[in-house]
Amino acid sequence: MQQYVYRSDRVTLGCGSLILIALIVLFFSGRGVRELETEVKELRKSVVELRDSVDDLKREVRKLQR
């Protein structure tokens, strides 16, 4: 009798990995340096906003757990 093992490996990417991927894509897409700098600033701003949202959610969870 054979047993089958099913395994699901998931890959998660952090914000830093996503920014790195975006930079690589932008670099090879032929955009100018100024456009690239603008895009990087926008990505950094988005990461800060996401972190702030996560912090807000953590605070809300802690309040609910009390």
* Model pLDDT for residues 5-25, shown as the tens digit of each residue: 555 556 566 777 888 888 888
CA distance 37 to 43: 10
Let me know if residue 4 belongs to a domain.
no
Let me know if residue 8 belongs to a domain.
no
Containing structural domain, residue 66: 32-66
Let me know if residue 7 belongs to a domain.
no
Let me know if residue 24 belongs to a domain.
no
Task: Give me the number of domains the chain comprises.
Answer: 1
Let me know if residue 9 belongs to a domain.
no
Which DSSP category does 29 fall into? T
CA distance 55 to 52: 5
Let me know if residue 14 belongs to a domain.
no
pLDDT at 22: 83
How high is the mean pLDDT of the chain? 80
